[in-house]
Amino acid sequence: MRRPHAAGRFPDAPMTSPSRRDLANAIRFLAIDAVQAANSGHPGMPMGMADIAEVLWNDYLKHNPANPAWPDRDRFILSNGHGSMLQYALLHLAGYDLPLDELKAFRKLGSKTPGHPENTHTAGIETTTGPLGQGLANAVGFALAEKLLAQRFNRDGHAIVDHRTWVFLGDGCLMEGISHEAASLAGTWGLNKLVAFWDDNHISIDGNTDGWFTDDTPARFEAYGWNVVRGVDGHDPVEIRTAIETALESSGKPTLICCRTTIGFGSPNKAGKESSHGSPLGKDEVQATRDALGWTHGAFEIPQPLYAGWRARDLAAAESAWNARFAAYKAAHGDAAAEFERRMGAELPGGFGADADAFIARLQQDGPVIASRKASQNAIEAFAPLLPELVGGSADLAHSNLTLWKGSKSVATDDPNANYIYSGVREFGMTAISNGLALHGGFIPYDATFLVFSDYARNAVRMSALMRVRAIHVYTHDSIGLGEDGPTHQPIEHLASLRYIPDNDVWRPCDAVESAVAWKAAIERADGPSCLVFSRQNLPHQPRSDAQLAAIARGGYVLKDSVGAPEVILVATGSEVGLAMQAAAQLGDGVRVVSMPSTDVFDRQDAAYREAVLPKACRKRVAIEAGVSDFWRKYVGLDGAVVGIDSFGASAPIEALLPHFGFTVDRVVAAAQAL
């Protein structure tokens, strides 16, 4: 028997006028059929959350399939991304550019329906999800972006930023520690436009969760400062609607809607069991489910009345109304409208590049001898007034990372110019929230911690790169040079690890000038993230010609050249560039010093440039960096030498640590002479 539906929406009638259950079953069977055809995937979650998704998408979600990127759309995020066929089914049924053939190609090479949703593949996918919990953290970033843009741009009678972020999440998302980090911040920031639906089905891959997930989740979220709607039947559209209406009335708090569901809903033999979680139902069970739910249509067959039911709402109307509101806003507040369009279009302010270059030139002239973390702060101080879209902060290390600047204003306020994020000790959540801010549009986010704690954030950094978002990850205290805190705080393998992430640019500058260039490069890079790595200790200023100054942006360049063809090449980054320059002075005129602030950027240069910097004819090469040595073999070969560190550090002042671990002029000279 079909369940009651929300009054006035779709009457319970024959297929010519589909019921809510019919509409939800369209999701279920598209998911069932796609997973069966692929012979892999997760049918259980789409089957369990179909009724929730149907109500949300047909009655509440503000979107336009004809223009998936319009600025004031609602954002829908599937944090439990293994249930990707739920989202693909929704996009297809709602009329997005996702034809049925793409669903039939689920999980196939080159399809728009990969195993987990990917924002770079499919129109309507706001963020790539799959690593559980990160979608929730991304959603917090989306909701924070909406809040900050509304504070900045809305005027009396002109609400041009007024949308919601809706996120689906499961038990697995809530087990991940990042959910605690993100949810706590969402409550602190009062993100009332954020609504999360918890798929409370008590099942994970290993079975019933009673043996490992017994949290009082509603109480937990109430403690975070959320509005919690308990005990919702996730298969009753009336209860779902009532819960959403309650969420819409929330003032000053995000909302968690706790939906009790049955995983694999409708499957006679696998509903409520882990067997429906991560495997196809099987041919016989697919047919049994069709019989149980009265679904008489073949595989991937959606009757026209169902398409009509899914597309009954005029989804373009919301965008049209917004366009009219924005036109009125533009007439009344032209400058603000132009700025909003610039920021949402991801365009940097005119003249930014020239202003940044002028700042860099002044630094080269002035030659400050400071720690690169201080140089980073100076760069923020110079660039942030030029970039109102720059927003960020630190994981409880503002005064160590030096991320504060004189214009910093906390995002926990209603200040129209709020721009600083105090994340607390939440490196993972902080980074994933940055990804959400970047994906939303209108912001260039940065976050910061010690380099050694990039381990906590690493999977979110990886997701930055996978999604190719413009996010800037700042890491200070970059080596054993931080000193007395000892090996727990001294990064060794971290630089190499971050460099091995595809599409992730890592910069480790040697002085204030390279630090400013690194910041400029990260800001201007529109197709991926950058990690900026800075020292605690003061670094010497390096002299440069205009040509050398311009070459920094190429990732690696000749800082000191030999007389004639080089006999030995010293390659160094960061704090070790000064060491290389001292060693070169002792080694004589046949030595070339290459500063390599970003190996990633250098590797993208054309072959002629790379050959000009590192000529193949010179095999006597020494790389110098206070990190693992193996990474540098790609530049020095097996016949070269690396002055690095392949052990953990120690607790002592820097003056004792550097010679203890061999970062001395004598060792570099000896390594070069031994070649």
Question: How far lies 97's CA from each of 28, 101, 294, in Å?
Answer: 20, 11, 29
Kindly give the residue spans of alpha helices, DSSP state H, lying in 333-409: 334-344, 352-366, 372-383
Low-confidence stretches of the chain (pLDDT < 50) are: 1-15
* Residues catalogued as catalytic: 427
**Residue 313 C-alpha from the chain's centroid:** 32
**Per-residue pLDDT at 9:** 36
Polymer length of the chain: 675
Burial of 324 per CB tally in 10 Å (0-12, 13-18, 19+) = exposed
pLDDT at residue 570 in the model: 98
pLDDT of amino acid 247? 97
The two beta strands, 444-450 and 390-394, are parallel
Check residue 441 and give its pLDDT.
98
Kindly report the number of other CB atoms within 10 A of residue 68's CB atom.
16
| Cα gap 543→554, rounded to integer Å | 17
Q: Against a cut of 0.85, is the pTM above it?
A: yes
Segments in 237-351 forming alpha helices (H): 237-248, 283-293, 304-310, 316-332, 334-344
Contact of 281 with 36, CB cutoff 8 Å: yes
DSSP for 63-100 reads --TT-TT-TT--EEEESSGGGHHHHHHHHHHHT-S--H
The reported pLDDT for the residue numbered 63 is 98
Q: Given this model, what pLDDT does residue 15 score? A: 46
Q: Which residues contact 588 (CB under 8 A, 6 or more apart)?
A: none
Q: Say how far apart CA 543 and CA 644 lie, in whole Å.
A: 25
Q: Which of 528, 556, 533, 540 is nearest to 627 (CA)?
A: 533
pLDDT, position 591: 98
Q: Are 50 and 25 in contact (CB under 8 A)?
A: yes
Q: Say what the pLDDT of residue 326 is.
A: 98
3-class secondary-structure state, position 277: coil
* Positions of E strands within 348-501: 370-371, 390-394, 420-422, 444-450, 472-476
pLDDT attached to residue 42: 98
Angle between helices 134-153 and 454-467 (to 10 degrees): 70
Q: What angle do CA 611, 613, 615 make, to 5 degrees?
A: 45
